[in-house]
Chain A
Amino acid sequence: MDLDDRQRGLGPPARELTWDQRRAERAAAVAFTVAILAGVGLFVVYFSGGQTQLEGVLFCLALGGLGVGVALWANRLLGAHEAVEERHELTSGAAGREAFEHALAEEVGPTLARRSLLVKLLAGAGGALGLALLLPVLSLGPAPGRTLKQTPWRRGSRLVDENGTQITLNSVPEDGFITVFPEGHAGSADAQALLIHVPKGELRLPADRLAAVPQGTHVAYSKICTHAGCPVGLYRADTRSLLCPCHQSQFDVLDGAKPFFGPAARPLPQLPLGVDDQGVLVALGDFYEPVGPAFWDRGKP
């Protein structure tokens, strides 16, 4: 099976090339020439300011020319020489394993057994050090504490838009909506809420929650989807529903933003609102429930 290098097309040819081989040789030569030209082309394109599409095509031609040439060489000029290799035994065999076990029992074991107290202390020291080395992991982040259960909204926080402009009852037309933040926290990730102006008398909320909806028309819900935390950015005025574009959870605005389709399980928490003496909308407190996706101790105080 072992063939002479010359017959494999590596050394000088032992016999005349066949017509097929000569054709393959020519084709490989063309491919390599294309690669050379494309390589030069890359220089030109780069120094004349660069152009992404041309760079890609020329880079492809340079590499592809080389690749095609080598492939032709491999498939047409080297010929198909099948080789056979015998497998070797993977295992060291019973004798080899026994010898190792013997070495363990004779050499490793006794060395440690002679100093059993030291070995125990060594293990203890290693363990203590290992635990101590784990501690810096705790520096990676703060304790969660209550941070997931509260937002910057406070009683009296004025509603502003993302630019910090205060929001009044007239800021949003009927069936319009706007993203609002507590004043001083414009752009806040966990405080973001949607203020929606719905027609009067349509909201179906418990009396105490309806009381936190100015004029019964300006209702605000957390903008963070209770499913996986995306901003619930789409409002469909025809069905008065909110749709999360990430996973298509849908919430009924008139019915306390309860989910009615999709993977979300909990309503968007409502933000209690009032109007201050200057006509600016204000929060009456934080959201009624923790905002955003569920977490382990969400239901604990």
Chain B
Amino acid sequence: MSMVIERSLKYLDERLGTASFARRALRKVFPDHWTFLLGEIALFCLVVLVFTGTFMTFFYNPSIREVVYDGPYQPLQGQHVSAAYDSVLRLSFEVRAGLLMRQVHHWAALVFVAAIVIHLCRIFFTGAFRRPREVNWLVGMALLFLALGEGFTGYSLPDDLLSGIGLRIFYSVALAIPVVGTWVTYLLFGGEFPAGDIISRLFVFHVMLLPALLIGLVVVHLFVLVLQKHTQYPGRGRTERNVVGKRFWPEQTFKSVSLLLLTTAMLALLGGLAQINPVWQYGQFRPFDVTSPAQPDWYIGFLDGALRLGPPWDLTLFGYTISEVFWPAILFPGVAFGILTLWPWIERRFTRDRAEHHLLDRPRDAPARTATGAAGLMVFFIMFLEGGNDIFGVLLNVSVEVVTRTLQWALLVAPVVTWLVTFWVCRALKRSRVHPARINAGVRLRRTADGGYETASLEPTSTPE
């Protein structure tokens, strides 16, 4: 056995020179902190998505040809549905393990975007995007957009009523693009809504174009990561010139493999037990039907909320119209994601810091950055809440108008308050010199002979407060 391995290693090394590379790879050092696993969770979700998604393509039929449903789900028997919707029902009810695959896929998509967003927050709040990692920040942003695109195109494929309405809204937003909106929309959809080609086009985007870009950029993302080596939190023995942590083999490999397995296990549990997107309850999409309440998947929630919050202001300039949809659904995300994408350069304009950084900031170390990030998150959070204004109205027993008006005011006030409070907290924490990661050694109390108490420090070096 070992002879075989030895000979095949020799064979490969003599042709590809793999041995020294593999030796270095095995000894690569990974920082040992849980926040470095967030990106890995996203990567593992992508693995699950590729496997479950490939399984589903063997059954899914991206066609709006009308068929009569005659499967086992009684409420829909005899109804005219599209071949796409029919194939999703068949996958769910007639293919063994089909429903599990579909639900795991959907849950994995939700966790995928969530892991990306939390990973992005970690990178942002610790300043990991600073030189020399601006390039990988851009790649990461592109990955976020691709993940959102994957989510939205996949969500629309079953051709059910809920996703069809989402598609209708997307079409309306695309129409609102100034000057070229109608052309862009017609080229994308193949004509006026609901043009017959859109489902098959979404399918090609979802299973070919976007995944190819996504996987390609993931490779670039990881390649740059290896090239530049990891950042690390400051600590004993950690400098700008080294990386302290665990080697790829064995510690990091064991850890990553177990994380892959546990991530997949959780997705399997969710997919098995937690029903998601029961398209048979929504029914076939028909352009004149609508459901209520209607919420998209969580990561589109902010955009739906922005549409609900938006002011009813349309604008006519020289006879041309700028839709009221333009402000919340095109201008706002354009500006917000534009700022986020360009953040490494925006921050540099203020800090004038052009040095290389491999040691991470604690959020408090950069109060203005942390405050801006927190305020930005607050904006998205309020819009996300507004995306469920009808549900909150019912839950809180107030009218939807009250929820919307409240959140409109909150959108004006809360981000400013968040910025100021975060800034103040960061500065106060910085002054206090409390370190969350350093274990407080505490003090030992000693009782004196006359019955009083005095402190006896455990660490002779520590300064008494």
Contacts and interface: CB of A to CB of B under 8 A. Distances in A.
A264 B324 contact: yes
Contacts of B99: 52
A53 B245 contact: no
Interface stretch (A106-114, A121-129, A165-173, A245-253): A245-253
A295 interface: yes
Interface string B295-321: 000000000100111111110100111
Interface residues of B, number: 103
A209 B193 CA distance: 28
Contact of B169 (A46, A69, A230): A230
Interface in A167-220: 179, 187-190, 192
Contact of A66 (B261, B270, B294): B261
A59 B187 contact: no
Specify which of A73, A228, A232 lies most central, judged by the most chain B CB atoms within 10 Å of its CB: A228
Contacts of B314: 265-266, 294
A294 B325 contact: yes
Chain A interface mostly: loop
Interface in B227-278: 227-229, 237, 240-247, 250-251, 254-255, 257-262, 264-266, 268-273
B358 interface: yes
B178 interface: yes
Contacts of A99: none
Nearest to B182: A144
Interface string A70-114: 110110001001111111101000000000000000000000000
Given A64-B261, A64-B265, A296 B324 contact: no
B367 interface: no
B435 interface: no
Contact of B262 (A64, A137, A147, A190): A64
Contact of A138 (B96, B185, B187, B191): B187
Contacts of A87: 229, 240-243, 358
A68 B244 contact: no
B312 A296 contact: no
Interface string A46-61: 1001101111110111
Given A83-B244, A248-B400, A263-B307, A192 B288 contact: yes
B262 A263 contact: no
B187 A137 contact: yes
Contact of B320 (A137, A248, A296): A296
A261 B393 CA distance: 15
Contacts of B312: 227, 249, 259, 262-265
Contacts of A70: 254, 257-258, 261
Contacts of B29: 83-85
Given A68-B262, A248-B308, A57 B254 contact: no
Contacts of A262: 308, 312, 404
Contacts, number: 274
B186 A142 contact: yes
Interface bracket on A: 35 or more
B292 interface: yes
Interface in A235-268: 245-249, 259, 261-266
Contacts of B175: 148, 293-295
A70 B251 CA distance: 10
Contacts of B286: 187
Given A189-B287, A299-B316, A52 B244 contact: no
Nearest to A245: B292
Contacts of A144: 182-183, 185-186
Interface string A129-147: 0000000011011111001
Contact of A74 (B237, B251, B323): B251
A266 B173 CA distance: 16
B273 A56 contact: yes
A67 B187 contact: no
Contacts of B258: 66-71, 74
A117 interface: no
Given A63-B261, A85-B243, A78 B186 contact: no
A165 to B, nearest CB: 15
Interface in B167-208: 168-169, 171-173, 175-183, 185-195
B272 A293 contact: no
Contacts of A54: 272
B71 interface: no
Given A67-B262, A265-B312, A143 B186 contact: yes
B241 A86 contact: yes
A193 to B, nearest CB: 9
A208 B27 CA distance: 84
A294 B247 CA distance: 58
A150 to B, nearest CB: 10
Interface in B359-417: 389-390, 400-401, 404
B310 A246 contact: no
Nearest to A162: B288
21 contacts: A10-B250, A53-B273, A56-B104, A57-B272, A59-B272, A74-B258, A84-B29, A85-B243, A86-B241, A142-B186, A142-B190, A144-B182, A187-B287, A189-B287, A245-B293, A245-B390, A248-B401, A263-B309, A263-B325, A293-B176, A294-B323
State the 3 A-B residue pairs at the shortest beta-carbon distance, nearest first: A56-B272, A67-B261, A74-B254
Interface of A: 8, 10, 46, 49-50, 52-57, 59-64, 66-71, 73-74, 78, 81-88, 90, 137-138, 140-144, 147-148, 162, 179, 187-190, 192, 223, 227-234, 245-249, 259, 261-266, 292-300
Given A144-B186, A263-B309, A296-B179, 10 more contacts: A52-B97, A56-B268, A57-B269, A59-B272, A66-B261, A67-B259, A143-B183, A148-B175, A233-B290, A265-B312
